[in-house]
Structure 1
Amino acid sequence: MSIGNSPEDERPFADVSEEARPSIGRALQQARIAAGLTVDDISTATRVRIAIVHAIEADDFAPCGGDVYARGHIRTLAKAVHLDPEPLIARYDAERGGRPAPTPAAPLFEAERIRPERRGPNWTAAMVAAIVVVIGFVGFTMVKGGDDGGKAQVAEGATPTTGTSASPSARATKKPADPKPDPTDSAIAAAPRDKVTVQVSAPDGRSWISAKDHNGRLLFDGLLEQGDTKTFQDNSKIDLVLGDAGAIRLHVNGKEIQDDFRPGAVERLTYTKGDPEVG
């Protein structure tokens, strides 16, 4: 009979650090309780619905609607309870096989191709020459008027300075002033008609938003803070996802969207060229 440790005693100790570490939902719940906040308090502060907060704290991310929305909710809830969101998101990605490689973001506006510089007419020199000609003509007219015994010379098309009223023909040549364009019309005219332009702003709160072009490329994925504005443009279509549609104001092709979005509601919208339509 040998004296020594049995084979069971020589087995390596199990790493209990991973088991001791709380899950994502448990970590958020513990931080919320430590901060003295209720689920209603967190829902009001973050505009994440109460049902979703309960589900995340129970490690059920299905109600979030996908990994993109789940990451956004985890980040928002972690910040609300003063918790660093990056370790939680990294753990979420690790438990689901890693985060997919991000798609390069498309530029906000299509870059124009660099064209060779074309030397056009020197308009500056032409304008200077025209001004010199006008000044010379006015000076010549004044000098000629003095030589003729002080008779006033009325330039063609000018209004006479005498007390007599202007002739009907002179009054007929006056063109009425162009009406000033309405600010709304100007905003619509500024949006290109051959593209779809979507402006997203958060005047009264903050919301997570996601925007994609017609090819499905990701233009933006993140939190829109209060007072921030983002503008997206594409040749044919913009797909939007609003984490809190009630905090968002939309302008599509220069027109404000008047839909009655509820606070905390997640909205998926699609806009195309022409009159704005909710997809």
Structure 2
Amino acid sequence: MTQLGERFREAREARGISISEASTATRILPRYLQAIEAGDVASLPGDVYARGFVRNYAQLLGLPAEEMVALYRKERGEPTAPIKIVPAAVPPRTRSCLIPSFFVTFFTVLLLLAAVYVVLNWTGMLTPPQTAEGSTPTAIPATPTTFPTPTDPPPDAIQSPLPPTPSPPQPTIDPLAPTPAPEIPTPDLSATPSAPVVVQAFVANDQTSQGSWFTVNADGVPAFNQLLRSGQSQTWSGQQEIFLNIGDISVVQLLLNGQNVAGFPGAVKGVPRRLTCTASGCN
């Protein structure tokens, strides 16, 4: 057994948790938890999943998660030093021999312009049209364009005034009509039903004990999963039932709806117990 597995096994046994209970709490298969405690890293899945299993198992047992992951990597034989990233060397840029120089580009453009000029001159597109001898161009007289001008009305004409714009009718207010009272919101007086199942746990102030581990489900929903130390207390409530898995009942006093539960605290130290509490009792 390796140091990693020994620390996990001692922490689990100190809290009175079995492999199956730890598997239910962490959702890790029992064979993987047994492989971690046995130091059989070859039976674990990939490295990413294995580190997640170690971290979750350590959090359940109250162990330092990062320290346990580092111990796992050390036993697996992986390097713990950070990986250094070295930038790749960039080769110097060389000028390609295919890039034309300025003079080659200039003379190429000049030759293209000369070729275009020769083609246009040969096709006659650059020669202005010639008129026949003795012919005189006929001038076309411009026709003036007339625009309508506004005429002033005769002085004796009477312009009809525009009809006045009717004003909107004003609402009439009866001074004798009663004024309606403002509406007052009615408060919601519906009562909220209280939880019928209330469980209280008290851990005795014992200097020789570290406390007791509690796993609690209220109405099938996980409500608590951690260690209650000496002098601490916790209360859970539910509508139907509350399931409790207590690691050491010798230091725990349990109350159901304010009444003591029989068998608590226990007479033998280190004895775990599972029970389900409803409104009628715990068993």
- The answer to whether TM tops 0.5 is no
Q: Which has the higher contact order (CA 8 A, sep 6+)?
A: 1
TM-score by length of 1: 0.38
Q: Which structure is larger by alpha-carbon Rg, 1 or 2?
A: 2
Larger % of helix: which? 1
